[in-house]
Homo-oligomer: A and B are copies of this chain.
């Protein structure tokens, strides 16, 4: 009953539930509930509190972060309501607490909460709040853990994806292949979603493609290749031409003939001998199933002596039937060398057999790639068109966590501070406004914070911007454009 009612409310407000059904008001640390009880006992639970959500240091030793996870936070608070069953569980966990508290918990939602945030996908910097959350202190505390859980990884992996895009360059295709190595199933789904936000082109993850409309990519694995024994396994050998005008009754023989022609071509003679028949059968079968999108994994046996020649034989046979093969994938070995050698092979085929465009066939690489390996490939020189990136992208292997925190900065209009012997851990008190200042050329110059009641920066007026902790970091800026960073996302929502 309670669940049905909450569902109804959410629908009325038009904000869907969190993508992961496991994201409920119980997805939080117990101390949020014990504190809520202590606030309630002290009659302080309705005290109006302002919390800032921010991080202290850019990840990956870098100079920027991309903010992700906001939409899920808004979904969460829009649907924030305890079910009767959840209240019952909390009673069992906190058996000494008074009934009145659980009645209070049953009654709360987030209608009295305000969320101001920087838009999702923006470049953000340390100490400037990504979100400013205001409301009754007991309620806001309950939001701390889920908000951090929804923002920390989302922002981290978005940033990681953006860094991979920067090193790979605009022209390369970037494919996220990380589901199997992600930290749990929704680590995988979130990774696909936020990698796309960070600049990837597609994912292998079908569920993520469906949930978020991300383009999905994939062809075949090594197991597919080794599952075939030989060409005699292929029983249905017919292939209709691309335009439907003709039919090749024995596509297998067409492939075999092409393989012989390649072997015998003057430019390639002696570069390879007998290729794997298991592999040739697998490629041929895959081409018969997907003549329009034939892309072959060529490293199950030997890239240059088997995989690439076999691929070319099938691609040339497809070409005879009016189909254009897509290309190959390399998943092991020296990717720079193999991609260059493969490209040369493709150019020879184009030249020797007069197949225009064959040299430009797509080369995808996908073996434990990351920022450093792509950078190394760039320096060596390579012929890779697309990178498939898994483990290092989705687990953020180089730094597996972003340390966003959620700090009380004001209560009942009184500024609050968390002191620390470590100056970088001292919180910056007061409810704030945040601005991004732009220079003449339209580029952003600096983000600044002011107290809520202080006058904001004005266009064309010189302003002294000072670092909150490092006295020497200060600069005069004359903004040509001023953007207020924290915008209202709740109540109401902009998604």
- The distance from the CB of A415 to the nearest CB of chain B, in whole angstroms, is 10
* B residues near A153, Cβ cutoff 8 Å: 182-184, 187
A181 touches B418 (CB 8 A): no
Contact with B along A133-146 (1 / 0, CB 8 A): 00001000100111
- The distance from the CB of A291 to the nearest CB of chain B, in whole angstroms, is 8
B332 touches A420 (CB 8 A): yes
A189-B288 in contact given A21-B21, A221-B35, A418-B226 (Cβ < 8 Å): no
A20 touches B185 (CB 8 A): yes
Query: At the interface, yes or no: A110 with Cβ under 8 Å from chain B?
Result: no
Q: Which residue of B lies closest to A206 (CB)?
A: B26
* B residues near A149, Cβ cutoff 8 Å: 179-180, 182, 184-185, 188
Q: Name A185's contact: one of B150, B233, B235, B401 (CB within 8 Å).
A: B150
Contact with B along A153-194 (1 / 0, CB 8 A): 110010000000000000000000101111111111111000
List A194-235 residues whose CB lies under 8 Å from chain B.
204-207, 209-210, 216-224, 226-229, 233-235
Q: Which residue of B lies closest to A292 (CB)?
A: B96
- The distance from the CB of A147 to the nearest CB of chain B, in whole angstroms, is 9
A145-B22 in contact given A44-B233, A301-B419, A419-B300 (Cβ < 8 Å): no
A210 touches B26 (CB 8 A): yes
A290-B42 in contact given A22-B186, A421-B333 (Cβ < 8 Å): no
Interchain CA distance A53-B162 in the complex, whole Å: 32
Query: At the interface, yes or no: A488 with Cβ under 8 Å from chain B?
Result: no
Interchain CA distance A422-B27 in the complex, whole Å: 44
A206 touches B401 (CB 8 A): no
Contact with B along A284-298 (1 / 0, CB 8 A): 011011101100000
Query: At the interface, yes or no: A325 with Cβ under 8 Å from chain B?
Result: no
- The distance from the CB of A224 to the nearest CB of chain B, in whole angstroms, is 5
Interchain CA distance A148-B185 in the complex, whole Å: 10
Query: At the interface, yes or no: A7 with Cβ under 8 Å from chain B?
Result: no
Interface size class of A (residues with CB under 8 A): 35 or more
A33 touches B206 (CB 8 A): yes
A31 touches B218 (CB 8 A): yes
Interchain CA distance A190-B26 in the complex, whole Å: 15
Q: Name A22's contact: one of B144, B189, B332 (CB within 8 Å).
A: B189
B397 touches A38 (CB 8 A): no
List A409-440 residues whose CB lies under 8 Å from chain B.
411, 414, 416-422, 425
* B residues near A108, Cβ cutoff 8 Å: none
- The distance from the CB of A366 to the nearest CB of chain B, in whole angstroms, is 11
* B residues near A244, Cβ cutoff 8 Å: none
Q: Name A181's contact: one of B150, B206, B401 (CB within 8 Å).
A: B401
Query: At the interface, yes or no: A24 with Cβ under 8 Å from chain B?
Result: yes
A30 touches B218 (CB 8 A): yes
Q: Which residue of B lies closest to A429 (CB)?
A: B226
Query: At the interface, yes or no: A336 with Cβ under 8 Å from chain B?
Result: no
Query: At the interface, yes or no: A375 with Cβ under 8 Å from chain B?
Result: no
Q: Name A207's contact: one of B26, B34, B43, B51 (CB within 8 Å).
A: B26
- The distance from the CB of A142 to the nearest CB of chain B, in whole angstroms, is 10
A38-B220 in contact given A181-B152, A181-B401 (Cβ < 8 Å): yes
- The distance from the CB of A364 to the nearest CB of chain B, in whole angstroms, is 12
* B residues near A146, Cβ cutoff 8 Å: 185
Query: At the interface, yes or no: A407 with Cβ under 8 Å from chain B?
Result: yes
List A25-73 residues whose CB lies under 8 Å from chain B.
26-35, 37-44, 47, 49, 51
- The distance from the CB of A267 to the nearest CB of chain B, in whole angstroms, is 26
Name the residue in A90, A191, A207, A404 with the highest tally of chain B Cβ atoms < 10 Å from its Cβ.
A207
Interchain CA distance A321-B321 in the complex, whole Å: 91
* B residues near A406, Cβ cutoff 8 Å: 223
* B residues near A186, Cβ cutoff 8 Å: 20, 22, 184-187
Interchain CA distance A315-B51 in the complex, whole Å: 30
* B residues near A411, Cβ cutoff 8 Å: 227
- The distance from the CB of A212 to the nearest CB of chain B, in whole angstroms, is 12
Listed by A's residue number, 19 A-B pairs whose Cβ atoms lie within 8 Å are A20-B186, A28-B179, A29-B205, A30-B206, A34-B286, A37-B289, A39-B227, A41-B236, A41-B288, A43-B235, A89-B210, A90-B206, A93-B206, A144-B221, A149-B185, A150-B185, A154-B184, A181-B403, A332-B420
19 further contact pairs, Cβ within 8 A, besides A39-B227, A391-B401: A22-B22, A27-B206, A29-B218, A30-B204, A30-B218, A35-B220, A35-B223, A38-B288, A144-B180, A145-B179, A149-B180, A157-B183, A183-B190, A183-B396, A184-B189, A223-B418, A395-B400, A395-B401, A397-B401
**Which 5 residue pairs spanning A and B have beta carbons closest together?**
A30-B218, A31-B218, A148-B180, A395-B400, A183-B183
